[in-house]
């Protein structure tokens, strides 16, 4: 019998970008189910509330099969266990991301060795993309149309 492969894709997603969507789309070719989870991190100053981020992600993913959206606080590995996920998906854009992600993966492995970490690079056209850069470009009047889902562009323009 084939095993059900469920993964969790955590992040702040403030806001979700087309780079995130690219990672989700490619993850769906590997996993049966993806739980996209917004991390509630009170130490980070987010532009959008957790609820707003969850709603934007749900809107952006409404036509995706096998994807659920949630939010959590606390330890990622504990949340992954609770959700029945045995894999954590993370995106890597540049070498600078690697050091942080490597440290997190080793700590997660120490706490929950049964949960694996998988890293996917976004397509080349999204390698430079980050939520912070999107917010900065939008706040300065730049065009972000092809870099974020339509609902995100609308919400950013209203918020900024």
Catalytic residue set: 20, 44, 93, 131
Annotate the chain with DSSP letters as a single string: -PPP-EEEEEE--TT--HHHHHHHHHHTTT-SEEEEEEE--TTS--SS-HHHHHHHHHHHTTT-TTEEEEEE-S-HHHHHHHHT--EEEEE--SHHHHHHHHHHHHHHHHH-TTSEEEEEPPPGGGTT--HHHHHHHHHTT---TTTS-HHHHHHHHHH-
């Amino acid at each position: 019998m084939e095993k059900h492969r469920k993964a969790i894709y955590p992040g702040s997603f403030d806001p979700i970008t087309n780079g995130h969507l690219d990672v989700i789309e490619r993850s769906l070719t590997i996993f049966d189910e993806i739980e996209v989870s917004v991390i509630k991190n009170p130490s980070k100053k987010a532009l959008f509330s957790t609820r707003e981020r969850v709603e934007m992600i749900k809107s952006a993913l409404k036509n995706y099969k096998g994807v659920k959206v949630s939010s959590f606080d606390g330890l990622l590995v504990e949340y992954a266990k609770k959700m029945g996920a045995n894999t954590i998906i993370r995106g890597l854009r540049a070498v600078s991301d690697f050091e942080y992600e490597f440290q997190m993966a080793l700590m997660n492995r120490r706490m929950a060795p049964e949960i694996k970490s998988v890293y996917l690079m976004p397509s080349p056209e999204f390698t430079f993309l980050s939520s912070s850069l999107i917010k900065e470009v939008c706040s300065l009047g730049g065009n972000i149309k092809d870099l974020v889902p339509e609902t995100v562009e609308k919400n950013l323009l209203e918020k900024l």
